[in-house]
Amino acid sequence: MNTISRRATLGLAAATLMIGSAGATRAASIVQVSLWDQGASVQMPMGLAYATPGIDLSKATMGIKASPGTAKAGEVTFSVKNDSKDTVHEMIVMYLADPSKPLPYVDAENRVDEDKAGDKGEVSELDPGKSGTLTVDLKAGKYLLICNVPGHYGAGMWAEFTVDP
């Protein structure tokens, strides 16, 4: 009986240490991200890309919502859910070296040039209703969360995100 009690105590102590260590290493900010649209049957407007002069996002039929919209510099975990009922979406974190300028765009492909844009990581194509996570180490600055499925970014599927020092 004494051996069982000792083993149980040691097991409990080990579990407590593991939980404590996980808490210490899990100081990452958590950001909930919703990828949404009004359905595949709704026509996507164009010309709603970030930094477009005179942009009216009220016309967007799809978008990205991040909550909260800011985090502290360091590890940030994006918990991403595709809330669409019928459309595949993705989420890419882009660093904005100059927040007043648009991201480099490949017109022929109807999408952002990820290699030139400052891609920091992504949750690749998610089927409707599916989820994924991404943890990245981000420095202070301005970022853009985008969906780069052809046509989606230009239809307004992006959200600004700020990382504070």
What local confidence, expressed as pLDDT, does residue 142 receive? 97
Report how many domains make up the chain: 1
**Mean pLDDT, to the nearest integer, of 39-49?**
91
Backbone angles phi, psi at 152, to 5 degrees: -70, -45
**Is the confidence at residue 14, as pLDDT, over 50?**
no
CATH of the domain at 51: 2.60.40.420
Instruction: Kindly report, residue by residue over 92-120, the tens digit of the pLDDT.
Output: 999 999 999 999 999 999 999 998 998 99
**Is the confidence at residue 17, as pLDDT, over 80?**
no
Look at residue 106 and tell me if it is in a domain: yes
pTM over 0.75: yes
Return the DSSP state at 149. S
The DSSP string of 38-96 is S-TTSPPP----TT-TT--GGG-SEEEEEESSEEESEEEEEEEEE--SS--EEEEEEE-
State the pLDDT confidence band at 136, using cuts at 50, 70 and 90.
Answer: very high
Rg (CA), the chain: 20
Please give the mean pLDDT across all residues of the chain: 87
**Is the confidence at residue 15, as pLDDT, over 90?**
no
The DSSP string of 17-42 is HHHHHHHHH---EEEEEEEEES-TTS
- Residue 136: domain span: 28-164
The answer to whether the beta carbons of residues 81 and 33 sit under 8 Å apart is yes
Cα 3 from Cα 20, distance rounded (Å):
25
What local confidence, expressed as pLDDT, does residue 27 receive? 64
What local confidence, expressed as pLDDT, does residue 28 receive? 81
